[in-house]
Amino acid sequence: LHSPMYFFLANLSLTDACFTSASVPKMLANIHTQSWTISYSECLVQLYFLILFGGLDNFLLAVMAYDRYVAICQPLYYSTAMSCQLCALMLGMRWMLSNFAALLHTLLLTRVVFCAHKAIRHFYCDPRALLKLACSDTHINEVMLITMGLMFLTTPLMLIILSYVRISCAVFGISSSTVESLLYLWFSPHSGPALLWVSSGCVFTSSINSLCRQGK
């Protein structure tokens, strides 16, 4: 029952490291040199990897929540529902979808014409902040942002919440306190990082939106 969890946990650790490496090294270099600039090509590359690994992070958290749901609520079907082949297939498909979305959004951004003022009040190339600097039509880019938000944020969040609700209902229905504590210990190591990631993402998104409104 632990093999798929460790498989996804290893991929989550790798994705988190890559996601952080997409923006933090440039930020540290800017702090060291006191130069707050980034080239256009570097900005596009950074944006591509942030979208790629950010989408993968959300997917892995959702799949890990589903993995705990099957292990606790449907243990007899676990070996079938979470087989090694199926886990590898889900991960491979999500890599392809995340790569396609990141590449598509980056290519769409290359067609945008920016105004003379090219300063954003943030430490990385946020797509919403970049679109605020555009002088050309950005309707397609905005539609793409909404679509990606539904695909990579809303859908995984709903899967995580639904999985935890089902797990909580199953745990509360067990009278044995020993079994209940064991089940909580089983899925709580994942629930903590998942809730931390989602809550920090919501706070971060709201702060970016406020900065974008101030920059109008």
Query: Domain extents for the chain?
Result: 3-214
Output Rg (C-alpha) for the chain, integer angstroms.
Answer: 20
Which residues make Cβ contacts (< 8 Å) with residue 121, sequence separation at least 6?
129, 211, 214, 215
| Model pLDDT for residues 161-186, shown as the tens digit of each residue | 888 888 778 777 665 555 556 555 55
pLDDT > 80? residue 140: yes
Confidence of residue 48 (pLDDT cuts 50, 70, 90): very high
> Could you confirm whether domain 3-214 is CATH 1.20.1070.10?
yes
What is the rounded average pLDDT of the residues 119-148? 81
Alpha carbon 81 to chain centroid, angstroms: 24
State which of 49-58, 137-146, 166-175 shows the largest mean pLDDT: 49-58
42-46, 94-98, 102-106, 130-134: which has the minimum mean pLDDT? Answer: 130-134
Residue among 210, 187, 160, 130 nearest 1 (CA): 187
Query: Which residue from 131, 153, 148, 143 is spatially nearest to 200, judged by alpha carbons?
Result: 153
Against a cut of 0.85, is the pTM above it?
no
CA atoms within 13 A on the CB side of 215: 19
∠ CA 85-87-88, nearest 5°, is 65
Q: Which residues contact 206 (CB under 8 A, 6 or more apart)?
A: none
**Residue 99: pLDDT band by 50, 70, 90 thresholds?**
very high
**pLDDT of 206 higher than 60:** no
Q: What is the mean pLDDT of the segment spanning 29-40?
A: 83
First vs last Cα of the chain: how many Å apart? 52
CA distances 195 to 8, 34, 65, 161, Å, are: 17, 35, 11, 10
